[in-house]
Amino acid sequence: MARGRLITIEGIDGAGKTTLARALAEAIAARETAVELLREPGGVETSERIRALVKDPALAVSPRAEALLYAAARAQLVHERVEPLLDAGTCVLLDRYVDSSLAYQGAARGLGVEAVREINRFATGRLEPDRTLLLRISAADGRARQADRGELPDRLEQEHESFFAEIATAYDELAAAEPERIRVLDASATPARVLFDALEQIADLI
């Protein structure tokens, strides 16, 4: 049995990652390909509990603790779900993965991209995505979309706009460094167009 593919979806808050992930999972399943959609942090009970911690606006979490918590959640998800699914030949869609930590904690929190990369290499056993879809949108537009949801912002969503601008810049730098793996999509397009473009960028994998 051929090993499954790992496809990750990245972008700043409000870029439309979850919307694309759900639509992409349906489109891949329609092609009679086994697919599993998981989110980060989360996906398994231990990681979901960590998710509640890192997103709680009532908690003060230091940058290093934040990076380690995300890595711990990721380690458990990879061990418990991602690796077994890939071994079974399933296509795994991940709503966020290591690139999120590189951009958020490595760049925006100032911990250093390479330092955070090393933490996550240990956490994931060096598991790399076969393809990453980066939804590009301006920080201002991402914030506007968040406001339109009518939901109370979580701990990270409460950060100032310059924080998200730094994240967007970091994502662009990551994409420029790995153009074969990271494919950039225009997140300001309609959901149907974003899905179409995403399917084009992963056609060789599914």
Please determine, for residue 93, whether its predicted confidence score (pLDDT) is greater than 70: yes
The rounded distance, in Å, linking the Cα atoms of 67 and 33 is 34
The domain total for the chain is: 1
Please determine, for residue 31, whether its predicted confidence score (pLDDT) is greater than 80: yes
**Summary mean pLDDT of the chain:** 92
Quick check: is 107 in a domain? yes
Quick check: is 1 in a domain? no
pLDDT digits (tens, 9 = 90+) for 32-59: 899 999 999 999 999 999 999 998 888 9
Quick check: is 47 in a domain? yes
Query: Taking the mean position of all CA atoms in its chain, how far away is CA 188?
Result: 18
Find out whether 124 and 74 touch, Cβ atoms under 8 Å.
yes
Burial of 59 (0-12, 13-18, 19+ CB in 10 A): exposed
pLDDT digits (tens, 9 = 90+) for 137-187: 887 666 666 655 656 667 677 677 888 889 999 999 999 999 999 999 999
Q: Using a pLDDT cut of 70, give the percent of the chain over it.
A: 92
Two tokens, residue 66: 């934040």
Q: Using a pLDDT cut of 90, give the percent of the chain over it.
A: 80
Structural domain of residue 176, as residue ranges?
A: 6-201
pLDDT of residue 149: 62
| CATH code for the domain of 135 | 3.40.50.300
Quick check: is 206 in a domain? no
Quick check: is 72 in a domain? yes
Global confidence as pTM: 0.92
3-state DSSP assignment of residue 94 = strand
The rounded distance, in Å, linking the Cα atoms of 37 and 53 is 22
Quick check: is 44 in a domain? yes
Quick check: is 165 in a domain? yes
Q: What is the mean pLDDT of residues 58-81?
A: 96
Please determine, for residue 68, whether its predicted confidence score (pLDDT) is greater than 90: yes
Quick check: is 164 in a domain? yes
Beta bridge partners of 184: 134
Alpha carbons within 13 angstroms on the beta-carbon side of residue 177 total 9
Residue found by looking up tokens 């790992």 in the block: 6
Q: What is the mean pLDDT of residues 88-109?
A: 97
The sheet with strand 131-136 has its strands ordered as 35-39, 91-95, 6-10, 131-136, 182-186
The rounded distance, in Å, linking the Cα atoms of 85 and 21 is 17
Residue found by looking up tokens 């967007």 in the block: 168
Two tokens, residue 76: 């458990």
pLDDT digits (tens, 9 = 90+) for 170-182: 999 999 999 999 9
